[in-house]
Structure 1
Amino acid sequence: MSNAIVLGIFWHLVGAASAACFYAPFKQVKKWSWETMWSIGGIVSWIILPWTISYILLPDFWAYFSSFSASTLLPVFLFGAMWGIGNVNYGLTMRYLGMSMGIGIAIGITLIIGTLMTPILQGRFITLFGTPGGQMTLLGVLVALIGVGIVSYAGLLKERAMGIRAEEFNLKKGLMLAVMCGIFSAGMSFAMDAAKPMHEASAALGIDPLYVALPSYVVIMGGGALVNLAYCFIRLATVKGLSVKADFSLAKNLLIANVLLSMLGGLMWYLQFFFYAWGHANIPPQYDYMSWMLHMSFYVLCGGIVGLLLKEWKCGTRKPVSVLCLGCLTIILAANIVGLGMAS
């Protein structure tokens, strides 16, 4: 396995670790509505950081973006909005199915769709079956999906042992939202593929290969920001009991703490895709669709590890932890299979 591929897998792991930890600061926010907290984190993650970093990287920020036609930018933006819809559905999935079942179904679907739909749309999917490397990477996707299923089952065992149940459990509604989340969240994978002309233009300007994808985040995350912020602002304006004025009338120290924690959560959310770009840059072009599989499976892996470190798996029985470890090892195996496939 080449050093570049190993580095690519490593940076995807780092990005996934940031994704698995990003909600920790949000959990420390007190006496704020979720909508206000999420909006502030989102403004940092989807607007301030992509624009600032792109402004630093690009020799002429405005000239770069004005060089693209609407036919190039619009698909990138719309796929970003598609990803934003998936974000909203993800939270609702957890609400109606609980964490374990929700994550298993949503992540499983988005892993499959986001990974395999890109080569299908590019007309490359059939050729994968005809090459040893392609067959190996497809096997890695299957093993990763099994690993996600095992980790999700471990979570279900933990919830049962601890008597945890979704606050508003509704199987029919939850399954529908999980499927929608899985489909729409794959928009990030599609957006990265649609943004290839932007990446090539960045490279032509002499930007380091590790950073060529970052300017496209202005457009991709702009689409996601539009959906998420519109959802939050509409709820803040229409739902009884939610009030921006009340959220910002807290004591000064608590208000500052809430703002800083929300901004930190937004920073960590952005960093997952910052390092996703680094990982993506090291994956061979013919296997670039594997970036999404690596990111999503590592997301589940890191989520399980973080849960163990935070002692969230103390439930009076060893079985959930044993199953979790098996699932994590399966995902690690999947990453190695994919790496070997790309190297062959």
Structure 2
Amino acid sequence: MISIISGIGWHTVGAASAASFYAPISKVKQWSWETTWAIAGLFSWILLPWIVTWFLVPDFSSFYGQISSHAFLGMFLFGAMWGIGNVNYGLTMRYLGMSLGIGIAIGVTLVVGTIMPTIINGTFLHLLTTRSGQITMVGIIIALVGIAIVTYAGHKKEQALGSQVVDFNLKKGLILAVFCGIFSAGFAFGLSAAEPIRLESLHIGIDPLYAMLPSYGIIMGGGALVNFAYCFIRLAIKPELSVRHDFSFPWKNLIINGVLAATGGIMWYLQFFFYAWGQASIPNSLSFVNWMLHMSMYVLCGGIVGLALAEWKGVGSRPVRILCLGMIVIVIAANVVGLGMAAEA
């Protein structure tokens, strides 16, 4: 039971980092979003995953030589799938706005990333036929209700602040949100494909908390390929965007922007670093709950961060009460999932 509680706790820490990562990025001035995102991604998807792996793995060639090419391909392709979800994420915000876009996308991601791996692995019937699985499924449904409530609160906030989505298109936005949710779940699929790396990490004596981390460079490498391609293509073909312009400012400005972007990228990576800790703390037979916990805690921490940064100032008490209700429901969902895991254990 203590392991389960610590697992939920580590997922919360990771989600808090994810919910806060955009704060330093939003402080970057005079750079295009594409340049900022590419710098953040360099730290998040390339440097940190491989630096951490370098500390953990004494001999790369010997370690990765034990892994089949099929597993490598699966991890990389699922990472690229996750990267496509990241690109769709921004387009979803464009057509639906932040609240509706995030709520729908994360709701779909939670369901797909939680349920599909169990179907692929042939363990889905376990969810439906055992007491622990049924309790856990109830927790997943409660989490979706909580996400819906938080999404509604965010929509009311945007209305109260007079925020308008210039390119609002419900049909196009919903389609993109669903695609975003499905493709973003690629990271969960990538982690399932990375099971051989986790087992090899344990075999050479790596602490279980870190056993999944050597797979991140491959999974995130797939995502990096898609994201970098998107950013660089836009910088190349859009006349209003220019790398030369972004790096034409004094060194002091460049250093400040670089540090802010890098900080955001590091915080984005840390969500998955602590995801690995949370996953390691939860019994392998219950691994399907990790993605659900991560995504629901992401929404919960996003609400808390928004309140802490005074993003809800001036919206009135009703949207804030709705937000708090949604966050309470998500906490209840996490507790229900914890009960389901305790019943299994």
Q: TM-score, normalised by structure 1?
A: 0.98
Residue 69 of structure 1 aligns with which residue?
Answer: 68
- In the alignment, is the contact (CA less than 8 A) between 1:85 and 1:228 conserved in 2? yes
- In the alignment, is the contact (CA less than 8 A) between 2:14 and 2:272 conserved in 1? yes
Offset of residue 65 of structure 1: 1.8
Residue 236 of structure 1 aligns with which residue?
Answer: 235
SS at match of 1:129: helix
Residue 171 of structure 2 aligns with which residue?
Answer: 172
C-alpha RMSD of the superposition: 0.8
Matched residue type, 2:119: I
Aligned residues: 343
- In the alignment, is the contact (CA less than 8 A) between 2:66 and 2:200 conserved in 1? no
- Asked if 1:31 is matched to 2:30, the reply is yes
Residue 312 of structure 1 aligns with which residue?
Answer: 311
Matched residue type, 1:287: L
Matched residue type, 1:74: L
Offset of residue 285 of structure 1: 1.0
Q: Residues 291-316 of structure 1: CA distance to partner in whole angstroms, max 9, x if unpaired?
A: 00000000000000001111111234
Offset of residue 176 of structure 1: 1.3
Offset of residue 66 of structure 1: 2.8
Greater Cα offset, 246-255 or 60-69: 60-69
- In the alignment, is the contact (CA less than 8 A) between 1:189 and 1:289 conserved in 2? no
SS at match of 2:129: coil
Offset of residue 289 of structure 1: 1.1
- Asked if 1:217 is matched to 2:216, the reply is yes
Matched residue type, 1:252: W
Offset of residue 62 of structure 1: 2.7
Q: Residues 219-253 of structure 1: CA distance to partner in whole angstroms, max 9, x if unpaired?
A: 10000100000100111111111110110111111
Q: Which runs of 5+ in 2 are unaligned?
A: none
Q: Residues 41-97 of structure 1: CA distance to partner in whole angstroms, max 9, x if unpaired?
A: 001100000011101100112321233221111011100111111111111111111
Stretches of 4+ moved more than 4 A in 1?
none
- How many Å separate the matches in 2 of 1:191 and 1:69? 14
- In the alignment, is the contact (CA less than 8 A) between 2:25 and 2:260 conserved in 1? yes
Residue 206 of structure 1 aligns with which residue?
Answer: 205
- How many Å separate the matches in 2 of 1:149 and 1:315? 22
- In the alignment, is the contact (CA less than 8 A) between 2:157 and 2:315 conserved in 1? no
- Asked if 1:149 is matched to 2:126, the reply is no
- How many Å separate the matches in 2 of 1:103 and 1:247? 29
Residue 329 of structure 1 aligns with which residue?
Answer: 328
SS at match of 1:241: coil
SS at match of 1:47: helix
Offset of residue 6 of structure 1: 0.3
- How many Å separate the matches in 2 of 1:63 and 1:254? 43
- How many Å separate the matches in 2 of 1:9 and 1:316? 32
Q: Residues 4-39 of structure 1: CA distance to partner in whole angstroms, max 9, x if unpaired?
A: 000000000000000000000111100000000000
- Asked if 1:271 is matched to 2:270, the reply is yes
Matched residue type, 2:155: L
- How many Å separate the matches in 2 of 1:26 and 1:218? 22
Give identity over the alignment, percent. Answer: 60
Matched residue type, 1:143: I
Matched residue type, 1:10: G
- How many Å separate the matches in 2 of 1:82 and 1:220? 10
Offset of residue 190 of structure 1: 0.6
- Asked if 1:193 is matched to 2:192, the reply is yes
Residue 21 of structure 1 aligns with which residue?
Answer: 20
SS at match of 1:342: helix
- How many Å separate the matches in 1 of 2:117 and 2:223? 20
Residue 47 of structure 1 aligns with which residue?
Answer: 46
- In the alignment, is the contact (CA less than 8 A) between 1:89 and 1:177 conserved in 2? yes
